[in-house]
Structure 1
Amino acid sequence: MNAADGIRLDRENGVATVTLDRPARKNALDQAAWIALRAAVEKVADDGTSRVLVLRGAADTFCAGADVTAAGAQPVHPAVRMRSITAAVLALHTIPLPTIAKVDGDAVGAGWNLALACDLVVATSRARFSQIFARRGLSVDCGGSWLLPRMIGVQRAKELLYFPDLLDARRVYELGLLNRLVEPDELDETVAELAARLAAGPPVALAQNKALIDSAFTGTLAEAIARENAAQLVNFATDAPAGRAAASAKTTPQFEGTWQL
């Protein structure tokens, strides 16, 4: 991926790392970067080799959100810009791979909601977060209105949006919006370990787990169980045989994610 567009893509051992790479702008994303982010995520989804995606920011910041300065200088209608942002967020949220946001430094506005669009969020103790929109005369975007109430409840979600304070990582962890809170020198190792474990997991089963959880608020218990049963039938002909054989042999299963019939 062309780093000139503000997005860098690296892949190794089944782990795809997407880096928001505009450090001069604190990794705030302009329209070209949003378009490149979507392209990078879709490329990972389609490559057939990646098992997990890690989203990170270059240098000492995760993401300062949308680059509003660049937006004002571009002769592009705001609706067009918002479509580019929406497409990138949806691509990240719906990619059928486990995703990890690797957060160091600030994650504010759209930057924080990009992190929340990932399945797991790992942050350092020096990370800071804000739903900064109201401070800019804006309402929440990038999926925050859907993600936050599901994660922390309606009242706390409204509080974060009404009072756009800069929160330290400890407070965000206490709210339940971080999976891991680590010291800066532990971040690389922690994320690498989580990514390696996910990359070694059964890819089809994990993708189905992700889809099942993401649809959990959109139907009845009976409908959820029906979706679970349909997913399990796929697993029976994919990685479940390897898991069953490894359990019998007391060995570590090697999951390939391939159809066995």
Structure 2
Amino acid sequence: MTDSLLVDRTDAVVTLTLNRPDAMNAFDVGLKEALRDTLTQLEVDKSVRAVVLAGAGNAFCVGQDLREHAEVLASGSTELDTVRAHYNPIAQRLASLPKPVIAAVRGTAAGAGASLALLADFRIGGPKTTFLMAFANVGLAGDSGISWSLPHIVGRARALELLLLAQPVRAQQCHEYGLLTQLVEDDEQVLPAAQEFAARLAAGPTVAYAAIKRELSIGTAGSLSDALAAEAQAQAICGATSDHKNAVSSFVAKQKPVFEGR
């Protein structure tokens, strides 16, 4: 494990902090591999019930480290192997993680940094939060899932505008577009607000949350028949959980349910 990714745990919430503040948390190979492998571990760790993704310092993440990338290009390589080796697996694991993911977007989220933030289930930002779909500015198409996530959030026409014009989107506009779920008044409160939000979700029926995330992935991409089949499967799984049985008993007894994620 590299110190470019910090992993902190409080109860059932894990905070992953991209830790290259001098480079605005740009992705070098070490950070990409660490994030990819850590998400793989969290996917199967049932004791972790919510994840926060954050950046150290004054930026969330500005995407690929272009200094490192320039060295790759100077070596004569034109094949962007890192997309298949790193960004695609990170995006897939982040989007399909069977627990809520909250991005604490303090400062700039650009390029792949913006892409990964948009794959989180919730995004919390502050006054200095800025999204920049920067790919076209360096002559590239989008990656890390942005061609899927961005139109789902803002619609195809707006996604095309943001990707082709590649101009910064400031905090208030981010909130209006739906790029941010919540906008707090102070940048210093972005991470604490995200962790508080994660703790609230971690105390909920996390098996049901995972099922809901899967339902929506299938429902938004498939047919009604696909959605109905996914819902039937999800309810069979959730209906057999202790969380469901205890919640029904609590409802009958007029008590607040306690969820254990099983």
Q: 5+ unaligned residues in a row in structure 1: which ranges?
A: none
1:164-243 paired onto structure 2 within 5 Å:
164-183=166-185, 184-238=187-241, 239-243=243-247
Once the two structures are TM-superposed, the CA of residue 77 in structure 1 deviates from its matched residue by 6.8
Once the two structures are TM-superposed, the CA of residue 72 in structure 1 deviates from its matched residue by 2.4
Contact 2:108 2:129 (8 Å CA) reproduced:
yes
The 1-side partners of 2:40 and 2:141 are apart by 28
1:152-171 paired onto structure 2 within 5 Å:
152-171=154-173
Once the two structures are TM-superposed, the CA of residue 42 in structure 1 deviates from its matched residue by 1.3
- Cα distance change, pair 21–189 in 1 and its aligned pair in 2 (3 A): closer
Q: Which residue of 1 aligns with 2:256?
A: 252
Q: Which residue of 1 aligns with 2:112?
A: 110
Once the two structures are TM-superposed, the CA of residue 189 in structure 1 deviates from its matched residue by 3.8
1:159-190 residue CA offsets vs partner (Å, 9 max, x unmatched): 00111111211111111211101122432442
Contact 1:208 1:231 (8 Å CA) reproduced:
yes
The 1-side partners of 2:100 and 2:240 are apart by 21
For 1:196, give the aligned amino acid: A
Once the two structures are TM-superposed, the CA of residue 257 in structure 1 deviates from its matched residue by 2.9
Q: Which residue of 1 aligns with 2:128?
A: 126
Bigger mean CA deviation after superposition, 183-192 or 6-15: 183-192
Matched position secondary structure for 1:216? helix
For 2:102, give the aligned amino acid: I
Once the two structures are TM-superposed, the CA of residue 61 in structure 1 deviates from its matched residue by 0.6
Q: Which residue of 1 aligns with 2:146?
A: 144
The 2-side partners of 1:22 and 1:219 are apart by 39
Q: Share of identical aligned residues, percent?
A: 37
Matched position secondary structure for 1:101? strand
Bigger mean CA deviation after superposition, 244-253 or 148-157: 244-253
The 2-side partners of 1:78 and 1:254 are apart by 51
The 1-side partners of 2:78 and 2:257 are apart by 52
Matched position secondary structure for 2:220? coil
Q: 5+ unaligned residues in a row in structure 2: which ranges?
A: none
Once the two structures are TM-superposed, the CA of residue 73 in structure 1 deviates from its matched residue by 2.1
Candidates 45, 57, 60, aligned match of 2:58: 60
TM-score by length of 2: 0.93
Matched position secondary structure for 1:18? strand
Contact 2:83 2:144 (8 Å CA) reproduced:
no
Bigger mean CA deviation after superposition, 99-108 or 74-83: 74-83
Q: Which residue of 2 aligns with 1:2?
A: 2
TM-score by length of 1: 0.93
Once the two structures are TM-superposed, the CA of residue 122 in structure 1 deviates from its matched residue by 0.6
Matched position secondary structure for 1:215? helix
For 2:7, give the aligned amino acid: L
For 1:47, give the aligned amino acid: D
The 2-side partners of 1:116 and 1:214 are apart by 14
Q: Which residue of 2 aligns with 1:34?
A: 32
Matched position secondary structure for 2:52? strand
The 1-side partners of 2:78 and 2:159 are apart by 30
Aligned residues: 256
- Provide runs of 4+ in structure 1 moved above 3 Å: 74-79
For 1:141, give the aligned amino acid: D
1:48-104 residue CA offsets vs partner (Å, 9 max, x unmatched): 210001000001110011112112224677443222121112111111111000011
The 2-side partners of 1:106 and 1:79 are apart by 24
1:92-135 residue CA offsets vs partner (Å, 9 max, x unmatched): 11111110000111101111111001111111111111101111
Matched position secondary structure for 2:109? strand
